[in-house]
A = this chain, B = another copy of it.
Amino acid sequence: MSQEINLKQTAELLQKKDDFAVICHASPDGDTLGGVYALCGALQKMQKRAKVVLPDAASTRFNYLKDAAVPQEFDEKFTITVDVADSVLLGSSEKDYKDRISLCIDHHVSNTRYADNLLLDSDAAAACEVVYMLIKELSELHGKDIMTKEIAACLYTGISTDTGCFRFSNTTANTHRITAELMEYSFDCAGLNYLLFDMRTKERVELERQALEGIEFAFDGKCAVITLTKEMLDNADDEDVNAIGSLPRQIDGVEAGVTFKERKKDEWKVSIRTKNYIDARQICAQFGGGGHQRAAGCRIKGSLSECKERLLKVLGLSIR
């Protein structure tokens, strides 16, 4: 049902069509948001009608992305998803759109091929890398450069957030090459970096302080555990909580970083992030959870001390 097409075919398809809805995934991050606003802006520069569809409100941190495109009202005729590996990830947009996505632009090897046409590059660190290549192709076809400073800022947002500001292992030579080309458009890159990577809310600083206060080590410092109680989580937003979850693994000598988050009385959401050799997914699977090799999660019921003991007992078997 789904047909995989290349950059040139995608550009030719878009040039023939009009009245685009460009759709994000639920709980939108920098990559899906940057990609949809960039593509929407580029299509508008080609004198086409294009609008963004958000299943959830985006964090206000990303407000500047809206500058890349003008809000337009019309009935859509061609639907595009960006960075959406599976139609279930459309969230509240799923019921309206799931069976009528004309084109999906993605970088997940796990893409479920739900769209009529698929432009996929699983070597790309971010969907925004693919959108960048597509906009270059569209510029060529259109006979002039449709990239703007604002579009470049959107694409930079996706690329830099999906790579942890060029730190993660998905970063490639091509990621830096594309970023170099984007920076030629002179958006305020240092300003974005502050907003995306340096700024911490006061609430986050307080949560971090409390988390560090209660940090515990096990197995000669090879495992670090932090605990976030319901009371601590009440004032925190998800982004802050996620950032804190990466803290224990950052500590020198720690192979497994564990975060206990209190969901309700005697129920804990546990996330495990490992560094080099422990299979976090396999450990979480023993408690009915899942995830990736180096980052996985599960739920455990019981008092905090019971839950910790049960988890550490399993984890201990893998510590070398």
Listed in ascending order, the chain A residues whose CB lies under 8 Å from chain B are 165-169, 171-177, 179-181, 183-184, 189-190, 193-194, 197-202, 205-206, 208-209, 212-213, 215, 217, 221, 247, 250-253
Contacts and interface: CB of A to CB of B under 8 A. Distances in A.
Nearest to A213: B209
A166 B201 CA distance: 22
A138 B185 CA distance: 32
A311 B78 CA distance: 61
A239 B176 CA distance: 27
Nearest to A199: B252
A61 to B, nearest CB: 10
Contacts of A174: 180
A217 B205 CA distance: 12
Nearest to A184: B173
Given A167-B165, A167-B193, A172-B183, A250 B209 contact: no
Contact of A165 (B165, B175, B217, B251): B165
Nearest to A193: B167
A201 B250 CA distance: 8
Contacts of A176: 176-177, 179-180, 183
Contacts of A184: 173
A202 B165 contact: no
Contacts of A181: 173
27 contacts: A165-B165, A165-B166, A165-B167, A166-B179, A166-B193, A167-B193, A167-B194, A167-B197, A168-B190, A169-B189, A169-B190, A173-B181, A173-B184, A174-B180, A177-B180, A199-B250, A199-B251, A201-B252, A202-B221, A202-B252, A202-B253, A205-B212, A205-B215, A205-B251, A209-B212, A209-B213, A209-B215
This chain: copies in complex: 2
Nearest to A173: B183
Contact of A167 (B172, B198, B253): B198
A217 B184 CA distance: 39
Given A175-B180, A177-B177, A201-B251, 17 more contacts: A165-B167, A167-B190, A167-B193, A167-B194, A171-B183, A171-B190, A173-B180, A173-B184, A176-B180, A176-B183, A177-B180, A202-B217, A205-B212, A205-B247, A209-B213, A209-B215, A212-B212
Contacts of A166: 165-166, 179, 193
Contacts of A165: 165-167
Contact of A250 (B198, B213, B251, B252): B198
Contacts of A250: 198-200
Most buried by B among A176, A183, A194, A202: A176
Contacts of A247: 205
A176 B165 CA distance: 12
Contacts of A217: 202
A9 to B, nearest CB: 27
A57 to B, nearest CB: 19
